[in-house]
Amino acid sequence: MKRLNHKLQLVLIFFLSGIGYMVSCTHDNSFPPPAATTGVKYTPGTAVFLPGNMTVGNVAEWKLDKVHSNCMWQTNYMGAAGLLTGRFNQFGMHDVTTAKMINYATVGQPLIDSSWAFYEGDDSKTYFNGYVQINTSNTGEPGRDAGCNVAGMGTVAIVAGTQNLTATNLAKLRTTKITFDPSTGDYLVALDLTWQGKLASPVTKNIPGKLKFIKRATITGAAPYDVFGLQLSFQFNCRDFGITSTSIGDKIEIECNMNFNNK
């Protein structure tokens, strides 16, 4: 009887071990459970910011503070853990129509940064248009910026004293929908990204993004003024735009930090 009990115990242990193994394998190959929510619900405020004619000294008209703004990118280097990073030196917030996609003989902003509006509590009225000049990508390595980056992205070299807003050198962004997210206090954004890259003509892809609003604050001093900020982040697949370089990953991550003032 003892020998029989011993055998039954071994069979039972083996059976339970098998079940444990199968459960552990199933767990390893399943998606992790969703993160617990805090239950906090955010409510948007009522702030409204508009560019108007961007008249200097008009405190009701908000101006893009390009000097204190940036548009940054990053991607994996050859699919490895290391990152390639950089920024675009020239960018703006304007709806660049086909007629405006030309070269401008200026070193400053070629177009007024007025194609946007932000209503903190009314998603339907908030929108923005933006652009970057691809050949102004700045990694901090001049040889790469003027060499493989130009060829790899299908653009042309910088011409001194010229702002190049032609089709081969322009990536444009336009919001199609903005929705306040009460669980985070940020905004979910649908974007149209238009870029030619290494294709024969520009293509447009709709992509999701996230927008964070940095609330209004006052900068004190001899002549106080107010500021606010918008931080947009999104990612896209560069292969959709004909980029074939194996030195970079498929996914390009973009972060745009736009600061505004009413000086």
Asked if residue 187 has pLDDT above 70, the reply is: yes
Q: Which range has the worst mean pLDDT, 36-40, 42-46, 164-168, 246-250?
A: 36-40
Q: What is the pLDDT of residues 200-248, one digit of tens each?
A: 999 999 999 999 999 999 999 999 999 999 999 999 999 999 999 888 8
Name the class of domain 48-261: mainly beta
Q: Which residues pair with 184 in a beta bridge?
A: none
Q: Which range has the worst mean pLDDT, 40-44, 47-51, 80-84?
A: 80-84
Cβ–Cβ < 8 Å for 91, 131: yes
Q: What is the pLDDT of residues 90-135, one digit of tens each?
A: 999 999 999 999 999 999 999 999 999 999 999 999 999 999 999 9
Residue 131 CB partners (closer than 8 Å, separation 6+): 91, 92, 94, 96, 165, 170, 171, 172, 173
For tokens 């059976």, name the residue: 15
Q: What is the pLDDT of residues 124-179, one digit of tens each?
A: 999 999 999 999 999 999 988 988 889 899 999 999 999 999 999 999 999 999 99
For the beta carbon of residue 93, count every other beta carbon within 10 angstroms: 24
Asked if residue 23 has pLDDT above 50, the reply is: no
Provide the terminal-to-terminal Cα distance of the chain, rounded to the nearest Å: 95
pLDDT recorded at residue 149: 86
Q: If DSSP codes are grouped into helix, strand and coil, which group holds residue 210?
A: strand
Determine the Cα–Cα distance for residues 65 and 47; give it in Å rounded to an integer.
19
Residue 150 CB partners (closer than 8 Å, separation 6+): 135, 156, 157
- Binned at pLDDT 50, 70 and 90, residue 38 comes out as low
Residue 214: C-alpha distances to residues 24, 185, 218, 258 (Å): 45, 11, 12, 10
Mean of the pLDDT values across residues 62-67?
Answer: 97
pLDDT recorded at residue 36: 52
Q: Which range has the worst mean pLDDT, 8-12, 158-162, 176-180, 188-192?
A: 8-12
Mean of the pLDDT values across residues 9-18?
Answer: 43
Average pLDDT of the chain, as a whole number: 88
Asked if residue 80 has pLDDT above 90, the reply is: no
Determine the Cα–Cα distance for residues 16 and 196; give it in Å rounded to an integer.
60
- Radius of gyration for the chain, computed over Cα atoms and rounded to the nearest angstrom: 26
**What is the enclosing helix (H) or strand (E) of 252?**
strand 251-261
**Which pair of tokens denotes residue 161?**
């004293």
**Which pair of tokens denotes residue 178?**
């903005």
pLDDT recorded at residue 163: 98
For the beta carbon of residue 125, count every other beta carbon within 10 angstroms: 12
Q: If DSSP codes are grouped into helix, strand and coil, which group holds residue 14?
A: helix
| Pairwise pLDDT comparison (23 vs 186), residue with the higher score | 186
Q: Which residues pair with 191 in a beta bridge?
A: 175, 207
Alpha helix (H) residue ranges in 60-158: 142-145, 148-152
pTM confidence score: 0.83
pLDDT recorded at residue 28: 38
Residue 15 CB partners (closer than 8 Å, separation 6+): none
- Binned at pLDDT 50, 70 and 90, residue 17 comes out as very low
pLDDT recorded at residue 39: 81
Asked if residue 7 has pLDDT above 60, the reply is: no
**Which pair of tokens denotes residue 115?**
């194609």
Spans of all domains in the chain: 1-31, 48-261
Alpha carbon 153 to its chain centroid, in Å, reads 18
Cβ–Cβ < 8 Å for 191, 174: yes
